[in-house]
Amino acid sequence: MTAKIISGTETAKAIREELKAEIAELKEKHGIVPGLVTILVGSDSASQVYVGAKERTCKALEMYSERYDLPADTSEEEVLALVEKCNKDDKINGILVQLPLPKHINEHKVLYAIDPNKDVDGFHPVNIGKMMLGEDCFLPCTPHGMLELLERNNIETSGAECVVIGRSNIVGKPIANLMLQKRPAGNATVTICHTRTKDMDFHTKRADILIAAVGVPNLIKADQIKEGVVILDVGVNRIGKTEDGKAILAGDVDFESVKQKAGAITPVPGGVGPMTITMLMKNTVQAAKTAAGLL
Ligand code: GUN
């Protein structure tokens, strides 16, 4: 068997086309332009790349965008004051504070200060609580993108054994929760593995759907998976640089070793990654429609 490639690039492109049409209609019929602000503190190079990509995507979709690049020594009070200003600004529907923040800034305090109605990252406890309860809310972008990948690529999840490796707040915990809910791309039997799991291979070998979100390059090999498993690889690990200075990326799954055994797999790059920013835009459009009383 050669694994089917689940292309995030293609799926994201299709969703962006839908969004573009929706945004054009919002502008034409209601005079609404969804707006996103990005706030970056410090000069982490990966974060700069992500924020740049978010800004470019906003522009490509003809959304309104504002970008704040603040120095690493910006105080917590200054960041909180900026969040508060954005909470009150009607041009802004979504607020994204890029993580990680410098150590002297309390991440929770900043995320909790964002108006839950503008929390397009889905990181505010109000949205996390609603997500747990299966209520309408902003879903965190990477897990949201993974659900779209499963749905749009017709992957059956109901009753499937889904094994999630990694328990981060951004990916592992929310995707595990979403996959067990009574919803499309849900109804799975979910296991979460982490650094204290006694026998990880026991779990990975049982998985019908395997989600790897640990940040360890090429961790999962062919001898740890079942024939035909669907793999979503969330890892974006920089393992070197090309001669012209571009990052060489590897997933958490050893693509070359598993591709003959898995049923389907998301590549790195071009898998889960492109979906994250697209879902951020989708959440921002949703925020704009809600703010205008259209939802
Ligand atoms: N850092 C890594 N991933 C994310 C994300 O999805 N949102 C934010 N705000 N920061 C991140």
Write the Ramachandran bin of 194: left for phi over 0, alpha for psi from -120 to 50, otherwise beta.
beta
Q: Do residues 61 and 177 both lie within one domain? A: no
Question: Is residue 258, in this structure, part of any structural domain at all?
Answer: yes
Question: Is residue 15, in this structure, part of any structural domain at all?
Answer: no
Number of Cβ atoms within 10 Å of the Cβ of 152? 15
Question: Is residue 221, in this structure, part of any structural domain at all?
Answer: yes
Residue of 170, 173, 236, 278 with the most ligand 1 atoms within 8 Å of its CB, for mutation: 170
Residue 30 has pLDDT above 80, yes or no: yes
Q: Do residues 165 and 258 both lie within one domain? A: yes
Residue of 39, 51, 121, 173 with the most ligand 1 atoms within 8 Å of its CB, for mutation: 121
Q: Whole-prediction pTM value?
A: 0.96
Q: Do residues 106 and 146 both lie within one domain? A: no
Looking from the CA of residue 141, the nearest atom of ligand 1 is: 6
168 vs 170: CA distance, rounded Å: 5
Residue 282 has pLDDT above 80, yes or no: yes
Q: Do residues 35 and 71 both lie within one domain? A: yes
Q: Do residues 267 and 161 both lie within one domain? A: yes
Number of Cβ atoms within 10 Å of the Cβ of 11? 21
Looking from the CA of residue 140, the nearest atom of ligand 1 is: 6
Residue 212: beta bridge partners?
165, 233
Q: Do residues 65 and 151 both lie within one domain? A: no
Query: What distance in angstroms lies between residue 117's CA and the mean position of ligand 1's atoms?
Result: 18
**How confident is the model at residue 174, as a pLDDT?**
98
Question: Is residue 2, in this structure, part of any structural domain at all?
Answer: no
Residue 1: pLDDT band (50, 70, 90) is confident
pLDDT digits (tens, 9 = 90+) for 224-277: 999 999 999 999 999 999 999 999 999 999 999 999 999 999 999 999 999 999
**How confident is the model at residue 295, as a pLDDT?**
85
Q: What is the CATH number for 267? A: 3.40.50.720
pLDDT digits (tens, 9 = 90+) for 195-220: 999 999 999 999 999 999 999 999 99
| Cβ(121) – ligand 1 distance below 6 Å | yes
pLDDT digits (tens, 9 = 90+) for 128-163: 999 999 999 999 999 999 999 999 999 999 999 999
Number of domains the chain is built from: 2
pLDDT digits (tens, 9 = 90+) for 118-137: 999 999 999 999 999 999 99
Region 79-99: mean pLDDT is: 98
Which range marks the domain in which residue 68 is found?
Answer: 30-117
Return mean pLDDT, the chain: 97
